[in-house]
Amino acid sequence: MNLTGRNIIGFETFSEGTVAIQAINPASGETMPPLYYKATNDELQYAVEKGLKAFQIYRKKSGNEKAAFLEDIANEIDNLGDLLIERYMSESGLPQGRAIGERGRTTSQLRLFAQLLRDGSWVNARIDTALPERQPAPRPDLRSIEKPLGVVGIFGASNFPLAFSVAGGDTTSALAAGCCVIFKAHPAHLGTSELVGKAIQKAAAATNMPDGVFSLLFDDAHDIGTALVQHPEIKAIGFTGSFKGGKALFDLAMSRKEPIPVYAEMGSVNPVFVLPDIAQEKSSEIAQQYLGSVVLGVGQFCTNPGMLVIQKNDNFIKTLEHLSTEVQGGTMLTSGICDNYIKGIEKSKQFATIIGIGKKSSTLNSAEPIIFKTTALELVENPELGEEIFGPTSLVVEADSKEEIIAFAKSLDGHLTATVHGTEKDLKEYEELITILEQKVGRILLNGFPTGVEVSHAMVHGGPFPATTDARSTSVGTMAITRFTRPICYQNFPDELLPDELKSSNPLNIWRLVDGNWKK
């Protein structure tokens, strides 16, 4: 497959724009062909019009039909083979192992949602049968089900060019829900985006999906994204990225004539608490795993542990001093991200002590891992120290007492995750800490590190503001599907006019809440 640089609009491609954009290899600084052209407003409008038409067909596709589509996307991504892996690596600066791993995550995510659709029970079908004899008033027959919202806008994230991008979690859950997707590619991985966009286009045609079920638009900056959020026919937004970016999209969406849901996952500091007893017992093991988690993917994970809180422990600090010089940095995703990392580090240097500095690679835009330390009291004085720095850095916060740790936990904002390391004894003593933390995050972990975000049924990758703009949902895992649906109730419908999921004979054999009881 040749890269063309053209916007994908349903089954067609276009390139009407005049503003050229080019992919840059962050490790070498070299630009890569082809030229992409920023989408025009006409192209966006055409994508929306096609999406609206397609939605009237796509929303009626069965679970099995949508499953076949998602599975075919996964197959087409696999079929891209080394072409995709190589483009991914040169656009992101990330190594081959990561590229292959992320491709696997992306395709198995598509296949997991396909399974969910074939199973069919996700629709939350509810039936309250008619009670015509009921006094004082009869009850009508009521049946409700989750239905797709319409055409939605999704934004590619810089840090996962596959798993949180064109065929990533947001697209997959929106398509699974029955929504049509207009995707705004991230300019940091244009070629990777086009390759995956073509895979979706091909799969849509092969599985008889309507023209317009998916479109992919390119942009160098914010114009097309802004127009997408403001388009009156767009019904929801998915985004993963910075607080600044996500909050701006949220504000735009809320000031529309018709406000729409915005699922912006805006990252967080993901505090890790290491309790006293385990800090004695497993000091060097925890230190090692912590550093591994900090530098994973050059620290460019939303769940990167940006802060570790520990009761004053010289031994642990010494171990970190020793180990942190050995950890390896690497090329960051873009020169802009690397510049911001350096700025963040410079700022932290003014307030915090350096524990250790890791190794840089010899490539361009290479980030040096760096571990800082401060005290809980100093952090209260300089709260900017607690802000996320996107990259392979973390701040160790030393506390003088349990009371200080508890008070600090209480002062936390919303985060995606919080982690506690503790022995049985620690956890008993710090029960209150867990109670506090679970009210601050979407996921709370014991004795692990937050950088692994499983794609499964129970995963919550979300959390209270400012970690996201909607804590009631997750952007990873099968629960993500209901971000793109709303319930509709059918009253006194004859069987033949009901969706299959609600027909009396339960032809799809799904779980349903019938008169208050779950039944199959």
Tell the residue number behind the tokens 């970016």, with chain if given. Answer: 245
Shortest distance in whole angstroms from residue 429 CB to a copy of itself:
13
Shortest distance in whole angstroms from residue 491 CB to a copy of itself:
4
Among 462, 475, 481, 508, contact with a copy of itself (rule: CB under 8 A)? 462
Q: Which residues of 262-298 are buried (b: 16+ CB within 10 A; e: fewer)?
A: bbbbbbbbbbbbbbbbbbeebbeebbbbbbebbbbbb
> What are the angstrom distances between the C-alpha of 95 and each of 28, 342, 445?
14, 22, 28
Among 83, 447, 500, 506, contact with a copy of itself (rule: CB under 8 A)? 447
Shortest distance in whole angstroms from residue 361 CB to a copy of itself:
24
Based on DSSP, count helices (H) and strands (E) in the chain, helices before strands: 16, 23
Per CB under 8 A, does 457 bind a copy of itself? yes
**Part in contact with a copy of itself (CB under 8 A); list of ranges 41-49, 152-160, 293-301, 468-476:** 468-476
Site for a copy of itself in 258-277 (CB under 8 A): 258-259, 261
Q: Catalytic: 265?
A: yes
Give the x-and-dash track for 212-231 against a copy of itself (CB under 8 A). --------------------
Q: How many other C-beta atoms are found inside a 10 Å radius of the C-beta of residue 256?
A: 13
Per CB under 8 A, does 401 bind a copy of itself? no
Measured between alpha carbons, how far is 91 from 94 in angstroms, rounded to an integer? 8
| Helical residues (DSSP H) of 370-422, grouped into ranges | 376-381, 402-411
Shortest distance in whole angstroms from residue 12 CB to a copy of itself:
26
Complex with a copy of itself: residue 2 or 137, whichever CB lies closer: 137
Site for a copy of itself in 337-396 (CB under 8 A): none
Measured between alpha carbons, how far is 47 from 102 in angstroms, rounded to an integer? 28
Measured between alpha carbons, how far is 117 from 140 in angstroms, rounded to an integer? 29
Shortest distance in whole angstroms from residue 493 CB to a copy of itself:
6
Per CB under 8 A, does 249 bind a copy of itself? no
Site for a copy of itself in 478-517 (CB under 8 A): 479, 482, 485-494, 497, 511, 513, 515-516
φ/ψ of residue 160, rounded to 5: -135, 85
Alpha-carbon torsion 306, 458, 64, 174, what sign?
Answer: negative
Among 21, 308, 427, 433, contact with a copy of itself (rule: CB under 8 A)? 427
Q: Identify the CA nearest to 338 among candidates 291, 386, 299, 371.
A: 299
Among 56, 79, 96, 504, contact with a copy of itself (rule: CB under 8 A)? 56
Shortest distance in whole angstroms from residue 137 CB to a copy of itself:
7
Complex with a copy of itself: residue 333 or 445, whichever CB lies closer: 445
Measured between alpha carbons, how far is 427 from 414 in angstroms, rounded to an integer? 22
| Helical residues (DSSP H) of 93-242, grouped into ranges | 96-119, 169-177, 190-206, 223-230
Look up residue 232 and give its two tokens.
Answer: 């009156």
Look up residue 241 and give its two tokens.
Answer: 């990225």
Complex with a copy of itself: residue 33 or 494, whichever CB lies closer: 494
Among 20, 35, 221, 458, contact with a copy of itself (rule: CB under 8 A)? 458
Per CB under 8 A, does 173 bind a copy of itself? no
Shortest distance in whole angstroms from residue 220 CB to a copy of itself:
29
Question: Which of these is catalytic: 179, 180, 302, 338?
Answer: 302
CB 100 within 8 A of CB 85: yes
Complex with a copy of itself: residue 50 or 126, whichever CB lies closer: 126
Complex with a copy of itself: residue 39 or 149, whichever CB lies closer: 149
What are 180's strand-pairing partners?
A: 151
Per CB under 8 A, does 448 bind a copy of itself? yes
Site for a copy of itself in 71-100 (CB under 8 A): none
Question: What is the distance in angstroms between the CA of the first residue and the CA of the last residue of the chain?
Answer: 46
Question: Which of these is catalytic: 265, 368, 388, 398?
Answer: 265
Give the SS3 label for residue 141: coil
**Part in contact with a copy of itself (CB under 8 A); list of ranges 29-37, 132-140, 154-162, 329-337:** 132-140
**Cβ partners under 8 Å of residue 37, min gap 6:** 5, 6, 7, 15, 16, 17, 18, 19, 20, 21, 218
Among 1, 57, 83, 142, contact with a copy of itself (rule: CB under 8 A)? 142
φ/ψ of residue 212, rounded to 5: 115, 0
Strands 370-375 and 353-357, how do they pair? Answer: antiparallel
Complex with a copy of itself: residue 343 or 428, whichever CB lies closer: 428
- Please work out the total of residues on this chain that contact a copy of itself, with binding judged by CB under 8 A: 77
**Part in contact with a copy of itself (CB under 8 A); list of ranges 167-175, 203-211, 265-273, 454-462:** 454-462
Active site residues: 265, 302
